[in-house]
């Protein structure tokens, strides 16, 4: 590890310090040593890989890049990057957490901080469909590319796929999603597709969370790309999840969605869904990063207790990182 990267990590205080200058060494490192991001990715210890029967637990942190900063009544909850990084570091410190789903800026911060040792990395690929934008459904790919994720040694990339039958931009977005799936597969990376049937409602796009709509979205999304060999679904928990999971044989992770009710009530809704065949775990963000009462560690621990993981994951190889394009089973 370079002296600059090592010194930066040593200089940054643990989460809980409210000094407004606590991440200043990170900004200095970015200014003087931008190559440190690639260095941190190259030396990072990799996750041992996904195994059926051991459910994945991924923390999502790509909301801010879409301008979605609100959590319940706090419209600017995610606006403070220092606070967000503190919360992410607490969550990722739990050994039950397998990794993170993040936009490039957040992911680079976490790499520089050394918070992703032994973790899976999923990059967020399309971020242009800003809430309230006049052409919100035209959700172009402005984030991670497949090549960039391969260079970082990532597990895969995630794409939000909103299918709006009342918006002509849906056709081009489906095409772009298919191309992203193909690009990820070409690098032996997972394509995590998050589909919704959506519609315009005033100035916003809303997702249809009826069981029939979710089933229809799965049917469409799992057929995108020239191959589904390395495609996962990322799906909401809705009524009659048995019917939803009967619609696919692809590995599926459950998303948390926008938190509305009490944190403990939300966690309880995930319990039965996690028992269904094909459900490979959770990919959750705001519900756990901004829980009622503010105890991130406790919320993450409670969510981890819902997962079906009868045996601990095999230890990751800490001696030599795999090549950037290596498959997860080789890491």
DSSP secondary structure code for residue 119 in this structure: B
How far, in Å, CA of 57 to CA of 84, rounded? 18
Tens of pLDDT, residues 227-240: 999 999 999 999 99
Tens of pLDDT, residues 138-177: 999 999 999 999 999 999 999 999 999 999 999 999 999 9
**End-to-end distance of the chain based on CA atoms, in angstroms?**
20
b/e map 201-226, b = 16+ CB within 10 Å: eeeebebbeebebbbbbbebbbebbe
CB 125 within 8 A of CB 131: no
Mean pLDDT of 308-317: 53
> Residue 1: its pLDDT value, please?
63
Least reliable range by pLDDT among 9-23, 24-38, 166-180, 263-277: 263-277
Tens of pLDDT, residues 196-221: 999 987 778 999 999 999 999 999 99
DSSP secondary structure code for residue 52 in this structure: T
- pTM to 2 decimal places: 0.90
Q: How would you classify the pairing of strands 99-102 and 156-164?
A: unpaired
236 has which bridge partners?
Answer: 255
């Amino acid at each position: 590890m370079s002296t600059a990267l090592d010194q930066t990590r040593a200089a940054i205080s643990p989460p809980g310090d409210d000094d407004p200058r606590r991440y200043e060494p990170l900004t200095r490192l970015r200014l003087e040593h931008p190559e440190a991001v690639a260095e941190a990715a190259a030396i990072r210890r990799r996750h041992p890989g996904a195994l059926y029967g051991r459910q994945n637990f991924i923390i999502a942190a790509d909301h801010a890049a879409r301008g979605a900063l609100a959590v319940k009544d706090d419209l600017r909850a995610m606006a403070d990057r220092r606070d967000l990084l503190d919360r992410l570091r607490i969550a990722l410190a739990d050994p039950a957490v397998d990794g993170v789903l993040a936009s490039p800026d957040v992911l680079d911060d976490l790499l520089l901080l050394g918070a992703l040792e032994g973790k899976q990395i999923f990059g967020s690929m399309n971020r242009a469909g800003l809430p309230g934008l006049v052409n919100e459904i035209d959700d172009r790919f402005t984030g991670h590319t497949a090549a960039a994720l391969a260079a970082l040694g990532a597990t895969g990339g995630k794409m939000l796929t909103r299918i709006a039958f009342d918006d002509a931009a849906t056709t081009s977005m489906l095409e772009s999603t298919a191309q992203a799936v193909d690009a990820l597969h070409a690098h032996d990376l997972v394509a995590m597709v998050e589909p919704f049937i959506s519609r315009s409602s005033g100035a916003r796009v809303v997702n249809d969370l009826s069981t029939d709509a979710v089933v229809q979205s799965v049917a469409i999304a799992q057929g995108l790309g020239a191959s589904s060999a390395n495609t996962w679904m990322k799906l909401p928990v809705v009524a009659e999840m048995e019917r939803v999971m009967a619609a696919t044989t692809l590995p599926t992770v459950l998303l948390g969605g926008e938190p509305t009710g009490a944190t403990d009530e939300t966690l309880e809704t995930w319990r039965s869904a996690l028992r269904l065949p094909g459900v490979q775990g959770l990919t959750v963000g705001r519900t756990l990063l901004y829980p009622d009462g503010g105890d991130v560690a406790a919320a993450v621990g409670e969510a981890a207790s819902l997962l079906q993981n009868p045996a601990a994951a095999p230890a990751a190889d800490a001696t030599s990182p795999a090549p950037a394009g290596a498959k997860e089973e080789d890491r």
